[in-house]
Amino acid sequence: MSPKKVGVRPVFGMSLRSLPKTIRQSHAPEALQLRPFGSQWEQIKRYFATSRRRKYDLRYHVLDAILYIVKTGTQWRMLPGKFAEWQTVYYYFRRWREEGRILQVLSITSRAARRRAGQHGEPSALIIDCQSVPSARVGGPSARVGRISSFDAFKKVNGRKRHIAARAQGLLWGLVVHAAGDHETQWALQLLAPIASRLDRVETVFADQAYRGLEETLDREFAWKLQVVESDGENSGFSVDPKRSVARTNLRVVRRVAPARPRAGATGRLQ
């Protein structure tokens, strides 16, 4: 649900309005922030209009606030006072997301991380996987979000699926959210097509058996090879696959910073 649509909710018997202002005005612990260092900021600042004078500094008051939410998973309304007002931060977050700026920054930082590790900026292989999560029922304007929520008969989950494409270092290259009842093969192309337009070196995609049958499609659309990772048939229980464990780790992070509750105005694709 969009923060602008959220009403005042009780917290331990009292509303947010009744909380002392000092709670919101307290400074965030420096250890919990992900402030971009000078060299990192130099790489991405060209994607932000920093030349015009503003009440708030886009780096220290807005971008730092977004990174703080990513790190802590806190509510928008509970941003510490050292940042801009939460309405301002959320406005820029929505704007940058819709303009594709966040996607550009993610791509730049991922390439930089690979180069620091002595690798090429672009990966030659990807790992795709998805996770079904329950969605809370909400009324009002958010009810329309139910259109991307359905029942996953295999996982026995009524909600949505988070569909990601990652690499061995844990870097996230793509993310799509869709109804849990939709099969993985229905959305694989929606996930991979934007990545194919940005990456030129990808040759192989690793996936589990749910994606079997897409071999010809990926070869025809992107000239990529789909390699299905077989499970260990000798063990009846859960078996850990090194490649899929990378995707699972990313899905746990996505679950922490992106709750399953539907949000007003949400779309099937997150950028």
pLDDT tens sequence across 15-64: 444 444 444 444 444 434 455 556 777 778 888 877 777 888 888 899 99
Mutual angle of helices 86-99 and 64-72, in 10-degree steps: 90
pTM (two decimals): 0.66
**What's the rounded Cα separation, in Å, for the pair 47 and 94?**
15
Residue matched to tokens 């699926």: 161
What is the rounded radius of gyration, in angstroms, for the C-alpha atoms of the chain?
20
Tell me the domains of the chain and their CATH numbers: 3-99 (no CATH), 121-257 (3.30.420)
Tokens of 232: 């260990």
Q: pLDDT tens for residues 76-97?
A: 999 998 899 999 999 999 999 8
Q: Residue 160, exposed/middle/buried by CB under 10 A (0-12, 13-18, 19+)?
A: buried
